[in-house]
Chain A
Amino acid sequence: MGEEGPKLELYGFADFSYLHTFGSKTNILKQYVGPYPSFYVGHLNLYLASTLGENWRALAEVRFTYSPMGDDDKQAADGTFPVQDTTAVDYAELQRTFQWGGIEIQRAWIEYQPFDFLAIRGGEWLTPYGYWNDDHGSPTIIAAHKPFPIGDGMFPEHQTGLIALGKYFVGSTALGYALTLSNGRGPYDAIRDLDNNKAVGGRLYVESSALGNLTIGVDAYRGRYTASTKRYRVDTSGSQPVAVIYRTTDSAYDELSLGADVRWLYGGLHVQGEFMMNEAAYDDRYRPRTVGFDPRPTFAADYRRIGGYLLLGYRTPWLNLMPYVMAEHSSYTNTDLAPPVWAYSAGVNIRPTPNVVLKAEMAYAHFLGMGSTGLGKDDLPYFGSQVAWAF
């Protein structure tokens, strides 16, 4: 860097997957996830990194996605679930058609590190909890699928605000921390906080290289979720009519998430587990209706959900092959649609070069109950495979 300005570094990752669900045609979850074996490109993430000065650094990560094409999860007024069609004519190709997709900003932050033990980031960042959310990219994570409790967002995946983080070293042991202040969770929290209550959180961890590499951490997040609708009215009480803009709250709850995690790497051995809890208490004035077959009006209950996973793997010196097993649980007490689930998977992760990862796994999801719509009526076995690459 110099008079010519900062240099931009471009890199990223992508993955190509194959998913094959098993079970009968009446298996609701099979129909929901994908009734037929399918190939798909899951991620195409591009990183833009730059060192901006002596203690300044910036990073942005965007995901290119085919969505919203094919989204068939939103119910129309007539009760059907129409598929989102993004077909458009290509004006550059004689009005032939193509399907457009979208871009998701995964993170965009600027970092200032004034001291060895302190860095401050502002922008959108991944919530610092456990390992999976931090590992984040398909070449880095071991399994071919995200564990249920991580995917269910017991902690927010991203937040927008400020984060202070750092490590303090004592010999071969590091004490690390992260403290966060953000908009918290909301319907579009990346751009707007819909209440006057900032979310706070943090992570504390100890890293020791005395016996392999052992990390133990605890995590917390506290915030308020608010969804509201902007409305307009005309105030005629004065000498002349004026427009008044106000918001009506649709849903609001206070939430607390707590987590604990451990990762131990020793030789080729890889042991990793995360355990978490998320509880929510609705504001009774803004408690939303629930969805189900029962026509009587019911309202969402306060909940405490728990979840976790434990992964055990061993990277052999041959082909950099890692057989692994994983058990996971999510209680799903935040919705009556889904019953609690236990899932087990076994697979292999092969890394022929540092940039390429091949994965294949069998997984079996077992539900403890039916759920209000029968979603858990049948268990779901499935096979997933993936090739992920960093570029």
Chain B
Amino acid sequence: MRRQLLALVALLGSLAAVLALLAPSPVRAGNDVALAVIVSPDSKLGNISVADLRRVFQSERLTDPDGLKLIPLNHPPKTVDRVGFDQVVLGMDAEGVGRFWIDRKIRGGSGPPRTVESLATLRRVVEKLPGAIGYIRPAQLSSEVRAIRVDGKLPEDPGYPLRYHP
């Protein structure tokens, strides 16, 4: 019995090691759809790093230059841009994001960012709510919101990090 168990342990260990070598890298930016990170036109926030964006959208507390707590606003789960944003910024697919938030809440951490159903509402809330931060496609920008740089780049710049394959 014991020998069989040890053999099983060794077999599973070897299998895990082989699979680890074949593990895909986390999905990173592609070159099809860009997502502009938006804040209120009154905000002093002009640039954010992808690492800080990840913190904000994982509900870690981060303040802007005015000392306002950044309030992330997300698209509904499994929508195209939400999936792309989660892949590029959080490095997770939709299932992985679901697991992340369940595990986070069971550990006692804070819950996920609020989601906003429509683009019009998202733009309006970002404009009016101090500290609000969201993301939309560049073609969806309006005077209500302002796109900020991500890692020093705007969506039209080459090497802009928030791009994904839809």
Question: In the complex, which residues of chain B have a beta carbon less than 8 angstroms from the beta carbon of A136?
Answer: 106-108
Contact string against B for A residues 264-282, beta-carbon threshold 8 Å, 1 for contact and 0 otherwise: 0011110000000000000
Question: Is the pair B108, A381 in contact by a Cβ cutoff of 8 Å?
Answer: no
How many Å lie between the Cα of A47 and that of B111 in the bound state? 12
Contact string against A for B residues 84-111, beta-carbon threshold 8 Å, 1 for contact and 0 otherwise: 0000000100010011011101111011
How many Å lie between the Cα of A320 and that of B24 in the bound state? 15
Task: Provide the main secondary structure of the chain B interface.
Answer: helix
How many Å lie between the Cα of A89 and that of B81 in the bound state? 58
Question: Is the pair A139, B105 in contact by a Cβ cutoff of 8 Å?
Answer: no
User: Is B23's CB within 8 Å of the partner chain A?
Assistant: yes
Count of CB-CB pairs between chains A and B under 8 Å: 113
Task: Provide the main secondary structure of the chain A interface.
Answer: strand
Minimum CB–CB distance from B101 to chain A (whole Å) comes to 8
Question: In the complex, which residues of chain A have a beta carbon less than 8 angstroms from the beta carbon of B91?
Answer: 209
How many Å lie between the Cα of A329 and that of B101 in the bound state? 31
- Which residues A58-86 have CB closer than 8 A to chain B? 59, 61
Question: Is the pair B108, A107 in contact by a Cβ cutoff of 8 Å?
Answer: yes
Question: Is the pair A171, B5 in contact by a Cβ cutoff of 8 Å?
Answer: no
Question: Is the pair A269, B9 in contact by a Cβ cutoff of 8 Å?
Answer: no
Given contacts A267-B24, A344-B6, is CB(A354)–CB(B19) below 8 Å? no
How many Å lie between the Cα of A362 and that of B6 in the bound state? 11
Question: In the complex, which residues of chain A have a beta carbon less than 8 angstroms from the beta carbon of B99?
Answer: 320, 351, 354
User: Is B15's CB within 8 Å of the partner chain A?
Assistant: yes
Minimum CB–CB distance from B98 to chain A (whole Å) comes to 3
Question: In the complex, which residues of chain B have a beta carbon less than 8 angstroms from the beta carbon of A333?
Answer: none
Contact string against B for A residues 134-150, beta-carbon threshold 8 Å, 1 for contact and 0 otherwise: 11110110000000000
Question: In the complex, which residues of chain B have a beta carbon less than 8 angstroms from the beta carbon of A346?
Answer: 5, 8-9, 12
Complex interface: stretch among A28-36, A216-224, A226-234, A309-317: A309-317
Question: In the complex, which residues of chain A have a beta carbon less than 8 angstroms from the beta carbon of B103?
Answer: 135, 139-140
Question: In the complex, which residues of chain A have a beta carbon less than 8 angstroms from the beta carbon of B110?
Answer: 57
Given contacts A116-B62, A354-B102, is CB(A268)–CB(B19) below 8 Å? yes
Question: In the complex, which residues of chain B have a beta carbon less than 8 angstroms from the beta carbon of A59?
Answer: 108
Given contacts A267-B24, A269-B20, A354-B95, is CB(A364)–CB(B2) below 8 Å? yes
Question: Is the pair A267, B26 in contact by a Cβ cutoff of 8 Å?
Answer: yes
How many Å lie between the Cα of A150 and that of B74 in the bound state? 37
Question: Is the pair A323, B9 in contact by a Cβ cutoff of 8 Å?
Answer: no
Question: In the complex, which residues of chain A have a beta carbon less than 8 angstroms from the beta carbon of B137?
Answer: none
- Which residues A151-174 have CB closer than 8 A to chain B? 167, 169, 171-172
Across the interface, name the chain B residue whose C-beta is closest to A351: B99
Question: Is the pair B51, A323 in contact by a Cβ cutoff of 8 Å?
Answer: no
Question: Is the pair A169, B108 in contact by a Cβ cutoff of 8 Å?
Answer: no
Contact of A362 among B8, B24, B49, B101 (CB under 8 A): B8
Question: In the complex, which residues of chain B have a beta carbon less than 8 angstroms from the beta carbon of A167?
Answer: 60
User: Is B55's CB within 8 Å of the partner chain A?
Assistant: yes
- Which residues A232-275 have CB closer than 8 A to chain B? 266-269
Question: Is the pair A267, B9 in contact by a Cβ cutoff of 8 Å?
Answer: no
- Which residues B22-69 have CB closer than 8 A to chain A? 23-26, 49, 51-52, 54-55, 60-63, 69
Minimum CB–CB distance from A352 to chain B (whole Å) comes to 10
User: Is A54's CB within 8 Å of the partner chain B?
Assistant: yes
Question: Is the pair A116, B63 in contact by a Cβ cutoff of 8 Å?
Answer: yes
Question: Is the pair A267, B23 in contact by a Cβ cutoff of 8 Å?
Answer: yes
Question: Is the pair B26, A390 in contact by a Cβ cutoff of 8 Å?
Answer: no
Question: In the complex, which residues of chain B have a beta carbon less than 8 angstroms from the beta carbon of A325?
Answer: 9, 12-13, 16
User: Is B1's CB within 8 Å of the partner chain A?
Assistant: yes
User: Is A379's CB within 8 Å of the partner chain B?
Assistant: yes
How many Å lie between the Cα of A169 and that of B52 in the bound state? 9
How many Å lie between the Cα of A312 and that of B13 in the bound state? 7
User: Is A200's CB within 8 Å of the partner chain B?
Assistant: no
Q: What are 16 A-B residue pairs whose CB atoms fall within 8 Å in the complex?
A: A9-B111, A49-B111, A113-B61, A116-B62, A134-B107, A135-B103, A140-B106, A209-B51, A212-B26, A269-B16, A314-B20, A320-B95, A323-B16, A351-B99, A355-B102, A362-B5
Closest 6 CB pairs of A and B: A267-B23, A354-B98, A137-B106, A269-B20, A314-B16, A314-B19
